[in-house]
C-alpha cells in the first residue's frame, strides 16, 4: 500500500513538472512576462516606423508593459557589431527575437538562436537564406516580406519625369535585398526600352561620391531597398538636385529625405503584421506553422519641396500622399 502511494506521488510530481515546463516554453519567463530583442544593423526613419508599429501592435494585443519588455539592439551600421550582438543572443533570456530587414535577419538566423525569430520587412526571404519556403519556414524564423513594385515606381517616373530615359541605379553590393531589387529594376528597364547605369557602394562613406558621379550622367536616379544608401539619402538627393534630376526611392522615408517619389509597402503595416505573427507563436503555434507573408498593399508618396525645386507640377487627381522634406539634423 505504501509502495502504491509512493508511486502515485512520483506520477503527480512528474505531471506537475511537465505542465510547468510547458508553460515555460510558451508563456515567457517564470513570472509570465516576455523579453523581446529587436535587432537592427542601423536605425533610420523607416526602421523606427516598423519598430514602433510592432511594439504598439503587441500592446494592442494585450501584452502590457509589465508583461512584455523590449531590448533594442542597434549595431550602428557595423556588421562586426551586428554579428557580435547575434552571437550573444543565446546568452540572454529572450523569448522572441525580432530583426528588422534583411541584413539583421540574416545575421540572427545564421546565429541559430533558441528563441523564435519573427522578422520585419525582408524583401526576399528565400533568396536571403532565411528559409527554404515562404509557406513552411524551416529555420525557426518567419515574418513579413516587402515586395518592391518596380513597375509602380517607374510608372511614377514616367508620369513625373517622362523625358527620363537613362536611369541611374545606386545601391550597396553587400545587401542581398538591394541586389535583388536592383536586378528587378534592371530587368524592367531593359524590357521597357530604357537604358540604365548602375553604381554600387560597400558602405555609407562611399555614397556621396558615387551619387555625384552617377548624377552627372543620367536622367534620374533610382535607389532600391537599401539600408546603406538610405542612411545617406540626403547626399544622394543633393547630388541629383545639383544636376537637375529626380531621385526615386523604395520607401517613404527616402521621400522624407528629399527623393521625389516612392511606391512601397507601408512600414506601419509591416510592423503590425509581424506582431500578429509573433502573437501566434507566443500563444503556442510552431514557427513552421506560421507562413511568411508578402505585403502588397502599396502607398504612393511624393515630395512637394523636391517637385518645386525641379520645376515639376504634381497632378492633383492621383490620390498620392504629398509630403515635404523633413529637416535634416
Same domain, 240 and 310: yes
8 within domain boundaries: no
Same domain, 312 and 289: no
Given a contact cutoff of 8 angstroms between Cβ atoms, the answer to whether 283 and 237 are in contact is: no
Provide the pLDDT for residue 29.
57
Print the domain residue range for 55. Answer: 33-147+267-295
Please count the other Cβ atoms lying within 10 Å of the Cβ belonging to residue 110: 14
Same domain, 58 and 205: no
Mean pLDDT of 194-215: 97
6 within domain boundaries: no
Provide the pLDDT for residue 30.
54
22 within domain boundaries: no
Same domain, 307 and 214: yes
Same domain, 180 and 134: no
Residues near 224 by beta carbon (within 8 Å), at least 6 away in sequence: 148, 169, 171, 177, 178, 181, 182, 185, 250
What CATH number corresponds to the domain at position 70? 3.40.50.2300
Same domain, 98 and 183: no
131 within domain boundaries: yes
Same domain, 47 and 77: yes
Same domain, 289 and 304: no
What pLDDT digit, counting tens, does each position of 46-70 carry? 899 999 999 999 999 999 999 999 9
Q: Which one is predicted more confidently, 1 or 150?
A: 150
Give burial (CB, 10 Å; 0-12/13-18/19+) of 19.
Answer: exposed
CA–CA separation, 317 and 313 (whole Å): 12
What pLDDT digit, counting tens, does each position of 10-27 carry? 343 333 333 333 333 345
Same domain, 126 and 222: no
What pLDDT digit, counting tens, does each position of 169-183 carry? 999 999 888 999 999
Residues near 314 by beta carbon (within 8 Å), at least 6 away in sequence: 160, 302, 304, 307, 320, 322
pTM of the predicted protein model: 0.77
Same domain, 53 and 141: yes
Same domain, 70 and 199: no
Amino acid at each position: 500500500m505504501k509502495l502504491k502511494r509512493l508511486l502515485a506521488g512520483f506520477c503527480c510530481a512528474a505531471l506537475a513538472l511537465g505542465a510547468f515546463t510547458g508553460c515555460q516554453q510558451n508563456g515567457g519567463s517564470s513570472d509570465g512576462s516576455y523579453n523581446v530583442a529587436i535587432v537592427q544593423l542601423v536605425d533610420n526613419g523607416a526602421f523606427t516606423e516598423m519598430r514602433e508599429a510592432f511594439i504598439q501592435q503587441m500592446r494592442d494585443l494585450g501584452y502590457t508593459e509589465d508583461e512584455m519588455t523590449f531590448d533594442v539592439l542597434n549595431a550602428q551600421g557595423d556588421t562586426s557589431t551586428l554579428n557580435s550582438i547575434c552571437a550573444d543572443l543565446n546568452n540572454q533570456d529572450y523569448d522572441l527575437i525580432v530583426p528588422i530587414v534583411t541584413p539583421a535577419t540574416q545575421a540572427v538566423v545564421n546565429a541559430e538562436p533558441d528563441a523564435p525569430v519573427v522578422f520585419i520587412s525582408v524583401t526576399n526571404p528565400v533568396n536571403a537564406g532565411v528559409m527554404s519556403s515562404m509557406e513552411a519556414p524551416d529555420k525557426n524564423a518567419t515574418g513579413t516580406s516587402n515586395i518592391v513594385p518596380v513597375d509602380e515606381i517607374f510608372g511614377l517616373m514616367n508620369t513625373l519625369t517622362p523625358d527620363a530615359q537613362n536611369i541611374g541605379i545606386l545601391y550597396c553590393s553587400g545587401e542581398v535585398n538591394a541586389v535583388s531589387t536592383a536586378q528587378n529594376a534592371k530587368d524592367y528597364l531593359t524590357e521597357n526600352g530604357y537604358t540604365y547605369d548602375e553604381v554600387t557602394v560597400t558602405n555609407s562613406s562611399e555614397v556621396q561620391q558615387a551619387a555625384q558621379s552617377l548624377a552627372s550622367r543620367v536622367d534620374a536616379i533610382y535607389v532600391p531597398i537599401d539600408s546603406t544608401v538610405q542612411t545617406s539619402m540626403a547626399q544622394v538627393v543633393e547630388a541629383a538636385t545639383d544636376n537637375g534630376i529626380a531621385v526615386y526611392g523604395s520607401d517613404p522615408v527616402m521621400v522624407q529625405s528629399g527623393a521625389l517619389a516612392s511606391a512601397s509597402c507601408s512600414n506601419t503595416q509591416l510592423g503590425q503584421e509581424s506582431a500578429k505573427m509573433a502573437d501566434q507563436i507566443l500563444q503556442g503555434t510552431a514557427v513552421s506553422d506560421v507562413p511568411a507573408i508578402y505585403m502588397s498593399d502599396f502607398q504612393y508618396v511624393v515630395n512637394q519641396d523636391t517637385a518645386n525645386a525641379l520645376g515639376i507640377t504634381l497632378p492633383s487627381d492621383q490620390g498620392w500622399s504629398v509630403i515635404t522634406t523633413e529637416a535634416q539634423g
